[in-house]
Amino acid sequence: MAPRRVDRSEISICGKYFVFFTNFAVLVVSPLLLGFGIYILVLKEKSVSTLIDFIFDPSVWLVIAGVFGTIIAFFGCIGALREITMCLRVYYWLVNIFVLLELLIIIAIFIFTFTPDIFKNLGIYPEDVLKDAIVKYRDDPDMQDFIDNTQKDLGCCGYTDSADGYKDWNSNPYFNCSSENTSFEKCAVPYSCCIIEDGDPINLLCGAGAQSDELSNSKFAPKINKGGCLWVLRTYLMNNILVVGGVMIGSLIPQLMLVHFSRNLRDQILMQKSKWQS
C-alpha cells in the first residue's frame, strides 16, 4: 500500500515571519515614542492650539508617530502571527494609504523645487505658516530651538523663498526696526543666522543691527546668511535632486515589500482554508 502523501501548506514561512518580525520591531518602538512624546507635553505643560504649534513641536510628531506606528504594527503583527485575514487586510490598506501619502509628499517636493508658482496658483502659501513661527519665536522655547537648529543646519535666515530672507525677522516684535521697538534686539537677527566658523565662540548678539540699512552696507555689517530657508532649501534640492529623489523613492521599497508580503500571506491563508474545507 502506497504511503499517504503529506499535503504541503500553502503558507510561506519566510513571508509570514518577515511580516511578523518587522511589525514586532515597530510595535516595540512605537509605544516608546508615544510615551516619550506625551511625557514631554505633560512635563512642559504645553497645549497644542494652533497649526504652527502642531507643525513645529517635535513632541507632537513623536505622539503621532507612536499612535500610528502602534496601530499599524498591531494589525500586521497579530495578523501574521495568528494568520487572521481581517487583520492582514486592514494592515494592507493602512500601509497602502501611508505609502500613497509619502508619494504625494514626494510629488509636492518636486513641484516646490521646479515649479513653485503652482502652489501660489492653488492658493497654497507655505510662507504664511512659517511667518507665524517667526512672529512667535520668543513665545515658545521648543519652537525657538527648532527654528535656530533649522537656520544653522540649512545656513539660512528667515522663511521666505527669497535671497533676502533675513528681512523676514522684521515681522518679529523683538527684532523689528520700528521706532516703537525698545528691545535691545531691535533691527537684529537671531544668532543662528550668523556665519560661524569652526572653533569660533558663539556670540548671541552677533546678528545685532543686521537689518539696518546703514549697517548692512558698511564693512562692519554682521556676517550672516541672508537667504530665506525656503530659498536655500529649494536651491539645495535643485542641485541635488537626483540624490534626494533616489533616497526618497528608495525608502518606499521596504514598505512596498511589506505590502507585497502581507497581501500574499492573506491570499495564502485563504487558499489553505479552502483546501481544508474541500
pLDDT at 22: 94
| CA separation, residue 75 to residues 201, 230, 241 (Å) | 51, 38, 36
- Rounded Cα distance, 208 and 175, in Å: 9
Residue entry with cell 495564502: 268
- Rounded Cα distance, 63 and 30, in Å: 9
Say which amino acid occupies 278.
S
Residue 168: all three cell numbers together: 523676514
- Rounded Cα distance, 181 and 173, in Å: 7
Which residues pair with residue 51 across a beta bridge? none
Q: Which CATH architecture group holds 126-160+164-226?
A: Orthogonal Bundle (1.10)
pLDDT at 2: 46
The pTM assigned to this predicted structure is: 0.78
pLDDT at 123: 66
- Rounded Cα distance, 21 and 13, in Å: 12
Q: Shortest CA distance to 257 belongs to which of 85, 68, 18?
A: 18
Please report, for the chain, the start and end positions of each structural domain, with discontinuous segments joined by +: 13-112+252-277, 126-160+164-226
Per-residue pLDDT tens digits of the chain, which is 278 residues long: 445 544 577 788 888 999 999 999 999 999 999 999 888 888 877 666 666 667 777 788 899 999 999 999 999 999 999 989 999 999 999 999 999 999 998 888 888 888 877 777 766 666 777 788 888 888 878 788 888 988 998 899 998 888 889 999 999 999 998 888 888 888 999 999 999 887 778 888 888 888 887 666 656 678 899 999 989 988 888 888 888 888 888 889 989 999 999 999 999 998 888 877 76
SS3 string, the chain, reads CCCCCCCCCCCCHHHHHHHHHHHHHHHHHHHHHHHHHHHHHHHCCCCCCCHHHHHHCHHHHHHHHHHHHHHHHHHHHHHHHHCCHHHHHHHHHHHHHHHHHHHHHHHHHHHHHHCCHHHHHCCCCHHHHHHHHHHCCCCCHHHHHHHHHHHHHHCCCCCCCCCCHHHHHHHCCCCCCCCCCCCCCCCCCCHHHECCCCCCCCCCCCCCCCCCHHHHCCCCCCCECCCCHHHHHHHHHHHCHHHHHHHHHHHHHHHHHHHHHHHHHHHHHHHHHHHHHC
For the chain, first and last CA: distance in Å?
Answer: 24
Instruction: Tally Cβ neighbours within 10 Å of residue 144.
Output: 17
